[in-house]
Chain A
Amino acid sequence: MSATEVIVVGLNHQAAPVEVRELLAFSPVKLREAQMALRQRAAENVILSTCNRMEVYAVSPAGRNAGDDIVAFLGEFHGLGRDEYAPYLYRHVGMEAVGHLFTVAAGLDSMILGEPQILGQVRAAYEASAASHTAGPLLSRAFSQALKAGKKVRSDTAISRHAVSVSYAAVELARKIFGSLAGRKVLVVGAGKMGELAARTLLDNGLAAVVVTNRTYAIAMELAGRFGGRAAEFERLPDLVAEADVAIASTGAPGFVLTSGLVRQAMRGRRNRPLFLIDIAVPRDIDPQVQTQDNVFLYDIDDLQSVCAANLEERRREVALARRIIEIEVAEFAAWREGRQVAPTISALRQRLEEIRQAEIRKSLGRCSDLSDQQRSAVEALTCAMVNKILHQPVTRLKAKSGNPDGARYDQVVRELFALDEEI
């Protein structure tokens, strides 16, 4: 009998183009049906399907053909010819599969290194399988350990700490300047798409009021409606800047909309409050000269992108540390797995010796019926003590070996020597 192992078959954004990923994706509606169909071929399964990856985790016998069943299942379920999808798939078996799962959960395998959503997606995939009872003891343990590893990597390393998108870089900078964003006002000048995105991200992160202005008032009204903010006339721009804490400019104007003079005037009105200016327009809307003014912090699109690049570099620096954390977690899982393998052996061994002891006691005591109760219990105690003494070393050593690579071999030898798999 060959041992069962965790197996993963799947593809990610690196292995396959989006056209192929689409073909193999499992919609939430089809997920349960797929889990049930897979149960015919593998003891346990969890299906992880996101826009950047599709992976089937299963428990089945290891061997040269491990995972073939799953590959075939994918083709049958999605109605695909083998050539359409099979060349894109990767597969890992045993501890490699477990290591892969931990790496995915930690965000190391994501398109954006360290991105946070994947951890929730891994949890959701596991919970879906738990709900339909397709995740058994092995995958349950693997997934809960993967979630633990993912959390630990995120808390102990800086891998998902700093913003790597332009909008989030703007939020992070605003936090660096103001501290808390609660109650801060954001002004949106112009109706550019990037500006809208940045403003929305700021609002999602706690900024309070939003004022939208545009040369065409109707457009300002429409945009303000979408934000739940208010529109203002373009002529009031100097006052609006004076009132705002963050101003995002993304107009299509050919020249500077926020000139040096306008900002200087606005700063006079606002006394000691810093002003964070974000220029997302090309050509630029804000005169770069305003940067020389006290308490004015100007970032254009290139600056924000360089912030992202620097942050991504920070994240990459953390990969080695994250991998070490994962190694430790994988080793912990492996130890659990080995320990689980010897546990039945140990209890079988105890049971075997106990059976022998009781059989012998029955035989001996049956022959000498003139023993007192006290003498009988002395014999019981003596035999119990002997059995325990004899078992002590082998059990301790078996447990100790269980974490090691040769643990399985010891387990096998003990079963063989004591004939634990046979009825006597």
Chain B
Amino acid sequence: MPEQFYPFLLGAAFMAYLQASISYQLLFALRRPRYGRWGTIGLAAGIAVHTAALLVAWLESGRPVFGVGANTLAYYAWLTVAIYLVLEFVLRAKALGAIVAPFACLSLLGAILLPRQVSETLRPFAGNTWLAAHVGVSFASYAAFTVAAGSALLYLAQERQLKSRRWRAFVVNLPPLGTLEVLTYRLIEIGFVLLSATILVGGLVAQQAWDSYWSWEPKQTATLATWLVYLGYFLLRNVTRLSGGQTARCAVVGFAAILVSYLAVNLLLPGQHTFGLVERP
């Protein structure tokens, strides 16, 4: 019974996020406060339905299901929206919504369209708590990095406007540069801790599953590369003290590394982390 609701609820959440995305774009273009309100309402309604969808999926399988195939995307989109909504409330600024809402929309579309089964190699470990923790923490770190990259992009856009000395209404809705810089930093801090935990717990799971903590499998390599990019971010910011603009670029590069590591490696390259697009039974 509940499994019939899952795609329906996910679809409803998608529509709400779509509405929110359009509203936030309108807010940017037309700067009318009411579009900002519609955006927030869309995201809040979306996340409510989205939460229901995840709970239904949980009831269906008897455990949290962020680790199953395209469900990771649904879980990731949920976390991204949740982080954003908290930030919107705390910072009282809605500019980030113009980036985060469309992104959540796309991820949820992926969650709806992509197949939802576990890859054959993982099937024996489907109930493993460590595996669940590994996947849960990894997507939480992705969500933090996503919002951080959005914030870094806003920083770069605003810095460009301020530098050009051509004051446009564009700048009007953005939080100050200083605020965006600190926000990016804090989010990357959180993401970095979670990503480190992902790698450690992943090693434990790999030891149980394949008798090896580390095997230079494509996903492991890509994740290590991502981790190094973010380590570089901390060095640039806190040791060499480069300008906010340069560290913001680094935050965007780190997110690009995550996209590569998720899209290319998980979905396309063969390996233990493949979610079934290439080796569908």
Cβ of B167 within 8 Å of any chain A Cβ, yes or no, is yes
- B246 partner residues in chain A, CB cutoff 8 A: 294
* Majority-rule SS of B interface residues: helix
Cβ of B241 within 8 Å of any chain A Cβ, yes or no, is yes
**In the complex the two chains form, is B177's CB within 8 Å of A314's CB?**
no
- B31 partner residues in chain A, CB cutoff 8 A: 158, 314
- B237 partner residues in chain A, CB cutoff 8 A: 272
Residues 257-294 of A, flagged 1 when their CB comes within 8 A of B and 0 if not, give 00000000000000110100000000000000001001
Residues 176-194 of A, flagged 1 when their CB comes within 8 A of B and 0 if not, give 1111100000000000000
- B245 partner residues in chain A, CB cutoff 8 A: 294-295
A166–B4 Cα gap in the complex (Å)?
Answer: 62
**In the complex the two chains form, is B165's CB within 8 Å of A303's CB?**
yes
**In the complex the two chains form, is B172's CB within 8 Å of A162's CB?**
yes
Q: Which residues from 222 to 246 on chain B have a C-beta closer than 8 Å to any C-beta of chain A?
A: 237, 241-246
Given A158-B31, A297-B163, A314-B169, are A272 and B177 neighbors across the interface (CB < 8 Å)? no
- A314 partner residues in chain B, CB cutoff 8 A: 31, 169, 172
Residue in A161, A179, A306 whose beta carbon sits within 8 Å of that of B166 in the complex: A306
A310–B166 Cα gap in the complex (Å)?
Answer: 9
- A158 partner residues in chain B, CB cutoff 8 A: 31, 172
Given A177-B176, A299-B165, are A271 and B241 neighbors across the interface (CB < 8 Å)? yes
A272–B243 Cα gap in the complex (Å)?
Answer: 5
Closest residue on chain B to residue A311 by CB atoms: B167
Residue in B158, B168, B178 whose beta carbon sits within 8 Å of that of A178 in the complex: B178
Residues 98-130 of A, flagged 1 when their CB comes within 8 A of B and 0 if not, give 000000000000000000000000000000000
Closest residue on chain A to residue B171 by CB atoms: A176
Cβ of B207 within 8 Å of any chain A Cβ, yes or no, is no
B250 to chain A, nearest CB (A): 13
- A307 partner residues in chain B, CB cutoff 8 A: 167
A208–B176 Cα gap in the complex (Å)?
Answer: 19
A297–B166 Cα gap in the complex (Å)?
Answer: 12
Cβ of B162 within 8 Å of any chain A Cβ, yes or no, is yes
Cβ of B179 within 8 Å of any chain A Cβ, yes or no, is yes
- B163 partner residues in chain A, CB cutoff 8 A: 291, 297
**In the complex the two chains form, is B168's CB within 8 Å of A176's CB?**
no
Cβ of B33 within 8 Å of any chain A Cβ, yes or no, is yes
B127 to chain A, nearest CB (A): 48
Interface-central residue, A173, A272, A298, A310, by most chain B CB under 10 Å? A272
A424–B191 Cα gap in the complex (Å)?
Answer: 87
Closest residue on chain B to residue A178 by CB atoms: B178
**In the complex the two chains form, is B244's CB within 8 Å of A274's CB?**
yes
- A294 partner residues in chain B, CB cutoff 8 A: 242-243, 245-246
- A176 partner residues in chain B, CB cutoff 8 A: 158, 162, 171, 174, 176-177
**In the complex the two chains form, is A175's CB within 8 Å of B172's CB?**
no
A157 to chain B, nearest CB (A): 9
Closest residue on chain B to residue A297 by CB atoms: B162
**In the complex the two chains form, is B177's CB within 8 Å of A179's CB?**
yes
Instruction: Report the interface size class on chain A.
Output: 20 to 34
Instruction: Report the interface size class on chain B.
Output: 20 to 34
A130 to chain B, nearest CB (A): 33
Residue in A295, A299, A311 whose beta carbon sits within 8 Å of that of B244 in the complex: A295
A306–B161 Cα gap in the complex (Å)?
Answer: 13
Cβ of A355 within 8 Å of any chain B Cβ, yes or no, is no
A173 to chain B, nearest CB (A): 7
**In the complex the two chains form, is A177's CB within 8 Å of B167's CB?**
no
**In the complex the two chains form, is A179's CB within 8 Å of B176's CB?**
yes
B246 to chain A, nearest CB (A): 7
Closest residue on chain B to residue A156 by CB atoms: B33
**In the complex the two chains form, is B241's CB within 8 Å of A272's CB?**
yes
A232 to chain B, nearest CB (A): 26
**In the complex the two chains form, is B172's CB within 8 Å of A272's CB?**
no
- B167 partner residues in chain A, CB cutoff 8 A: 303, 306-307, 310-311
- A306 partner residues in chain B, CB cutoff 8 A: 165-167
- A177 partner residues in chain B, CB cutoff 8 A: 162, 176-178
**In the complex the two chains form, is A178's CB within 8 Å of B172's CB?**
no
A158–B33 Cα gap in the complex (Å)?
Answer: 9
- A299 partner residues in chain B, CB cutoff 8 A: 165
A178–B182 Cα gap in the complex (Å)?
Answer: 11
A179–B183 Cα gap in the complex (Å)?
Answer: 12
Closest residue on chain B to residue A155 by CB atoms: B33
B36 to chain A, nearest CB (A): 12
A178–B159 Cα gap in the complex (Å)?
Answer: 12
A111 to chain B, nearest CB (A): 22
Q: Which residues from 359 to 375 on chain A have a C-beta closer than 8 Å to any C-beta of chain B?
A: none
- A162 partner residues in chain B, CB cutoff 8 A: 172
Residues 170-190 of B, flagged 1 when their CB comes within 8 A of A and 0 if not, give 011011111100000000000
- A295 partner residues in chain B, CB cutoff 8 A: 243-245
Residues 13-49 of B, flagged 1 when their CB comes within 8 A of A and 0 if not, give 0000000000000000001010000000000000000
A299–B175 Cα gap in the complex (Å)?
Answer: 20
8 contacts between A and B (CB under 8 A): A158-B31, A176-B158, A178-B176, A179-B177, A272-B243, A272-B244, A306-B167, A310-B169
Q: Residues of B at under 8 Å CB distance from A?
A: 31, 33, 158, 162-163, 165-169, 171-172, 174-179, 237, 241-246
Additional A-B contacts beyond A272-B243, A274-B178 (5; CB < 8 A): A176-B174, A272-B241, A295-B244, A295-B245, A314-B169
